[in-house]
Structure 1
Amino acid sequence: MRILEHFKSICAVPHCSFDTQKLSEFLLEFSLKNGAKVRVDEWGNIHAIKGEPKICLQSHYDMVCIGEASNLELYEEQGFLKAKNSSLGADNGIGVAIMMSALERFKNVECLFTNDEEVGLIGANNFNGKIVSKYLLNLDSEDDNEVIIGCAGGLNIFAKISARMKKITPEQGYEVEVFGLSGGHSGVEIHKNIPNAIKILAKILRQNNAKIVSISGGERSNSIPTNAKAIVVASDFKVQKNQNIRVKKLGLFDKVLSNSDKILTLINAFAQGVRNYDKELTTPINSINLSTLSQKNGSVEIEFFARAMDDSGICDLRFETSELAAALGFELSYKDRSVAWRPSQSEFAKDVLNELRNFRPNAFITAIHAGLECGVLADKQHGLVACSIGPNIHSPHSKNERVELASIKIISQVVDKILQKYQ
């Protein structure tokens, strides 16, 4: 399959978020070679136009790097493509590969390769070009039974407190680590109740009456944490035997964080996961993930990522989380990540659905509990009609990420049929 060849060529080039320059150069050269007029903006967005297109294909070309990524060692197993001991980057590298194939074979096509989506939809939020096509087909969805016409908005919430140390009578120190959890996407997998390493660590520390010397955890704002670690002091430390928990006895320590109790209280009192669920759309309405925990520059900072299908939901999550954190003495700050994209059925979406139903008879139109760049782009450009499809990708943003090979073929054929129809 030509698309797999393209995907493997992408995987050979490092492209973790914030480290995408080499892949940007690769995609620029490829687009020019295939007859497109190309503009690359200061944010790394690559806008390629061939002929007089009616459809713009759009994917992001950065990936969440977990485990040994970006050194990707690909292998096939039971009909799936995987990467050994790392995330795969099928999110959204398969979409990029489909777009590369379209540039090779169609006279009229527009492709927008956006940058740094996984770290705040940075490329899409800062894109200031004009999409010339009337229709936008995003290829960043992860279920080939769905045509997405709406998505959740997102907000990063940061709670910061002083990391000032206080003197104590020397006490036994321990290094406590939660590691190797499965992790997952904090949007499309938040309803699965995937264990959060930071939450697990904080509970263990409180159960042992431990005081924190140092603490950290999590990988990305949009990932459920797989690892967390702390150095603590305690009179004794006991934990049930668990392959994902390690306790190492250290020497004596005579200083701990003065705000140790407040940090543990916030983490333990915080309600991780789905707050409201829409049974009709079979998707969460509001959810929030405790994403990262860091200690630097004299502070301990906890990052939360809130998602909601409308602005009022975001406001509720912000209010509830901020009230809890402020009551414990944390300073709050916020960073908008993406706007909510309100579901609206269009004839274009119905055309895509009809083509998809040739392969997936039970396919349906729905919304997704994650941020999609097409929502940002449609909000920026009035009159742009958008929807999103993609192959079956399981456990994105984790070492268990895998993409179904048969599903890639289905989505690529749907894209071909739609491009042919709108030539």
Structure 2
Amino acid sequence: MLNYSNTEIIDGVLAEFEKIAEIPRPSGHEKAVSDYLLNTFKEMGCVVRQDEVNNIIADLPATPGYEQTPVIAMQSHMDMVCVADHGVEYDPLTDSIKLIRDDNILTADGTSLGADDGIGIAEIIFIMKNLKEHGLLRAIITVDEERGMTGAINLDKKYLSDVSYMINCDSENYDELTVGSAGSVNVDFNRQLTFTKPQGTRGYKLHIKGLKGGHSGMEIHKGRANAIRSMALVLNALDEAGINYELASFNGGKARNSIPAVAEAIITAVVDKENIAEIIEMEKEKYLDIYGEVDGGISYEIDEVDLPDRVMTAEEQSSIIKLIILLHSGVYSMSQLNPSLVETSANLGMVSMENDDVINIKVLPRSSVDSKVELLALQADILAELTGFTALIDAKTPGWKERRESRLAKTMQEVFQEQNNMPMKVESIHAGLECGWHLVKNPQLDIVSIGVTTHDIHSPAEWLEISTIVPQVKLICETIKRLSKN
């Protein structure tokens, strides 16, 4: 089916990934990469459609003798979470990802890598270019998975109605077969701000950085700190110490589904820098007592800046700090059926000043129990009412319930065992996947999710184990071969 050496497979897949990495593709800005994929699949001889939201649907016709076999789809998303190390100059709208390949490690220079899910696209392109015998193969590459799954939501069900099997390529461990995932809901807390002239005589910028961050589904159970929460606790400590500060701005985090690793606030005060630094040092001791064993690299910094022209009212400032401290960010509960799996969590992902007049706080609750997602949405409404915010509850993402009788899952397990001389792990995950939306549109769809092994996704430390590309490609190719036999 694929007469290539391991080195040729790796080089071929990475060559496709390099082309994708050159194209800026943050969520909501995928037109350029969508156009690239449109042309790439056309050049491969596919029948390609680019829908109104820029999803790509590409059909590779069946080879002779396979015209009557089931339609098999491979699916990935084209957007990525764009984050950079503190101090790295990086514009996700214009800058390419600079790849660094070192032996078995593929990473990026100071930014997230975008292997989630660029490597999935690269594998799909490589397979469709080189597979010799197959039925109709469909590539479905969606937009905006990381921000709101609007690509999957808006995908016309006609592109799924004739599909028998779908292989989603958006998981993070090559030896794991994902057969279920959590549902979620986007929650935005918004508040219109009014401003007044500062009474303070000095301006200060407070920084928190050096945290690990990470994916809010895959790393939420590791107990890592949240930079936004940590900054709110610093500001609260200043208030408790009797330092009469005024808040001019508060920003932190890079994405709703990424544990925030950085935050900053600009304040005014009448006291010296040393007085504030003393309170911050005491707060750092409390922080290390809680997180020192799991996320001890925190750095608190304070810089003198020009006195801001305006500051928030005392009531608004108080409400913002209280809401952030009250918002849960981390694990709520573990699964009753599988105690090693997180059942319910929430991630306080971003706080930003929109147009300087509105503060926006983004939270992502997740659960494998849909009723708990609804409960968290209700709690958000109540918290917003109590703190003078408005809670915008976006469309809920459905969970993906595990199917025990899946020909696709069983076939993949058999193939993986034969090819790697070890069993494939089968599990449901706490992270969200587009599979739930696909099943809404075709409840009979037999679907699994797999992926190469990646680490620290949604963070500047993201890296990929290059050697895991080969077993993934071989697994997909052999599975397609077996499913194509009626």
TM-score by length of 2: 0.82
* CA distance in structure 2 between the aligned counterparts of 1:281 and 1:47, rounded to whole angstroms: 39
**1:317 and 2:352 equivalent?**
no
User: How far off is 1:81 after superposition?
Assistant: 0.8
The corresponding residue for 2:299 is 244
The corresponding residue for 1:357 is 417
Q: Deviations over 1:37-61 (max 9, x none)?
A: 1111011111111224531100111
Choose from 151, 155, 166 the match for 1:136.
Answer: 166
Secondary structure of the corresponding residue to residue 75 of structure 1: strand
Secondary structure of the corresponding residue to residue 461 of structure 2: coil
**1:63 and 2:63 equivalent?**
no
Choose from 321, 332, 349 the match for 1:264.
Answer: 321
Give the structure with the higher percent strand: 1
User: How far off is 1:360 after superposition?
Assistant: 6.5
User: How far off is 1:256 after superposition?
Assistant: 3.0
Secondary structure of the corresponding residue to residue 478 of structure 2: helix
Q: Deviations over 1:249-288 (max 9, x none)?
A: 2355685312101111111222210101127262211100
In structure 2, relative to structure 1, the CA distance for the partners of 1:337 and 1:223 (3 Å cut) is: farther
**1:342 and 2:401 equivalent?**
yes
* CA distance in structure 2 between the aligned counterparts of 1:360 and 1:322, rounded to whole angstroms: 51
Aligned residues: 423
Letter in 1 for 2:46: A
Choose from 322, 335, 342 the match for 1:284.
Answer: 342
TM-score by length of 1: 0.94
Secondary structure of the corresponding residue to residue 348 of structure 1: helix
The corresponding residue for 2:392 is 333
When structure 1 is superposed on structure 2, of 372-381 and 72-81 the one drifting more is 72-81
Choose from 35, 50, 64 the match for 2:45.
Answer: 35
Give the structure with the higher percent helix: 2
* CA distance in structure 2 between the aligned counterparts of 1:196 and 1:337, rounded to whole angstroms: 24
User: How far off is 1:180 after superposition?
Assistant: 4.4
* CA distance in structure 2 between the aligned counterparts of 1:180 and 1:82, rounded to whole angstroms: 19
Letter in 1 for 2:78: Y
When structure 1 is superposed on structure 2, of 211-220 and 173-182 the one drifting more is 173-182
The corresponding residue for 1:216 is 251
Secondary structure of the corresponding residue to residue 156 of structure 1: strand
Secondary structure of the corresponding residue to residue 117 of structure 2: helix
Q: Deviations over 1:105-162 (max 9, x none)?
A: 2343111111121111111110013223201110000112211111111111112223
* CA distance in structure 1 between the aligned counterparts of 2:113 and 2:421, rounded to whole angstroms: 25
In structure 2, relative to structure 1, the CA distance for the partners of 1:134 and 1:153 (3 Å cut) is: same
Secondary structure of the corresponding residue to residue 294 of structure 1: strand
Alignment check: 8 A CA contact 1:310 1:342 kept? no
Q: Deviations over 1:172-223 (max 9, x none)?
A: 3311112343321111111112221111111111111243111111111111
The corresponding residue for 2:266 is 231
User: How far off is 1:376 after superposition?
Assistant: 0.9
Q: Deviations over 1:69-119 (max 9, x none)?
A: 542221223522111101111111111011101211234311111112111
Letter in 2 for 1:233: T
Unmatched 5+ residue regions in structure 2?
Answer: 1-9, 85-89, 240-244, 285-296
Letter in 2 for 1:393: T
User: How far off is 1:406 after superposition?
Assistant: 1.3
The corresponding residue for 2:293 is none
Choose from 353, 359, 364 the match for 1:300.
Answer: 359
Alignment check: 8 A CA contact 2:77 2:117 kept? yes
Secondary structure of the corresponding residue to residue 402 of structure 2: coil
The corresponding residue for 2:242 is none
Structural RMSD (CA): 2.0
